[in-house]
């Protein structure tokens, strides 16, 4: 039996009470005094890898209400693309960069924000120089091997 959008079972009044509680819980919102600015539970770690490889940066963020996470390289916001994959599952955020080039080397930031504040962390992508062949010391220092 339904009455005013509430499930009513005549033989089990406790079920009716449960239905009312479920409906009330669905309408709850977090009061502002319980809201929290974002904070990083885990921060992305700097990575050293090589040109042509991929790099994955992970972070976990807490806070209420909804948190917006933005990734930047050298102060410029990164947009999702074939080269930059940005994903989120619950409070875990991922930036994955594929087919690294020397232009990917640099300083990265991850900024988490909501209307109550922000948190930011800094990390690096390092791509060491690789030689196509071993350099000859005699060419640089006037010495013979």
Domain extents in the chain? 1-30, 32-126
- Say whether pTM exceeds 0.85: no
Q: Tokens 């594929």 label which residue? A: 98
CATH number of 32-126: 2.60.40.10
Per residue of the chain (145 residues), give pLDDT as tens.
Answer: 444 444 444 444 444 444 444 455 444 455 555 689 999 999 999 999 999 999 999 999 999 888 999 999 999 999 999 999 999 999 999 999 999 999 999 999 999 999 999 999 999 999 998 777 776 666 566 555 5
């Amino acid at each position: 039996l339904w009455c005013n959008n509430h499930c009513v079972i005549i033989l089990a009044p406790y079920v009716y009470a449960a239905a009312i509680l479920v409906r009330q819980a669905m309408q709850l919102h977090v009061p502002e005094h319980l809201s929290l600015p974002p904070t990083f539970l885990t921060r992305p770690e700097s990575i050293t890898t090589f040109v042509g490889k991929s790099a994955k940066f992970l972070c976990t963020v807490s806070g209420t209400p909804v948190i917006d996470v933005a990734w930047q390289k050298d102060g410029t916001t990164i947009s999702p693309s074939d080269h930059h994959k940005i994903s989120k599952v619950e409070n875990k955020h991922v930036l994955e960069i594929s087919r690294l080039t020397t232009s990917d080397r640099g300083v990265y930031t991850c900024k988490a924000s909501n209307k109550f504040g922000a948190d930011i962390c800094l990390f690096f992508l390092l791509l060491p120089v690789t030689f196509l062949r071993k350099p000859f010391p005699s060419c640089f220092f006037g010495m013979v091997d």
